[in-house]
Amino acid sequence: MKISFQGELGSYSHQACCEAFPEAEPLPCSTFEGAMERVKVHEAKYAIIPVENSTYGRVADSYHLLPKSGLFIIKEHFLRVNINLLALPGVAIEEIRSAMSHSVLLGQCRNFLLKHRIRAVSAVDTAGSAKIVAQKKDRTIAALASPLAGQIYGLEVLGQEVEDMDNNTTRFLVMSNKVDEDNMFESQQYMTTIIFQVRNIPAALYKAMGGFATNSVNMVKLESYMVEGTFTSTQFYADLEGHPDDESVKRALEELKYFTSMFKILGVYVADSFRKYNES
């Protein structure tokens, strides 16, 4: 079974793939679109895509691509992001002048970089940075990447878990060509992900959201973004606790649909155990 993801081998998406599907064969892709396309053409069974990080926020590209992908969300996975400073074997941290990584990761370890007076250098991705450091043989350059990247590219750890926040976590969505009904059981807690556009009437969003409050349905995430290149057409992405067949969720969605010009369910899937252990 192949799982596609964006990035080089050793990326955090690769690590998430290994955790979620330990027996799968990883299939690295250069872009998010490419990872999704591999599933659409049946070269991979699933694609695993990052959508948000607890420190940095949402991965904007993913939210724009999900509605157009033609794929379904069948699973979520939360990855604890441990960031290591990786360098050539035998190099001391005092020799490091700059550290390469994706801009998202650089923003997650500012304090460490300032403390050691290391200049941040933005790169295409995290594991790709580790690969470059291994190839360039420059003792003054390091990479900020996963422990897995260090193992793959033969680098040594100069700083372990250097992220500013000790709860740094990324949420991934697993995308499939078809809805997965094999693992649906009444006893499980579900998440439902939807997208919608509200009708062009006064207070449409306020009215559309009312059904979730009156039916006690917990909406844990709501994102908005422009579509069709205009400032008047706004699309919303939402994660709900519950299954569409639950009576309360069904009533809330019926009320929502009345005030929308477009509505679609992107996925119904079992809630990751991370949610249960991190409830406030």
Which residues are identified as catalytic?
170, 172
Residue 93, SS3 per DSSP: helix
- Tokens representing 225 are 């973004």
**27: phi then psi, degrees, rounded to nearest 5:** -125, 95
190-198/234-241 β-pairing:
antiparallel
CA gyration radius, the chain: 21
| Whole-number Å distance between alpha carbons of 112 and 30 | 29
3-state secondary structure labels for all residues of 124-136: CCHHHHHHHHHHH
Residues 54 and 108: beta-carbon distance below 8 Å: no
Farthest CA pair distance, the chain? 65
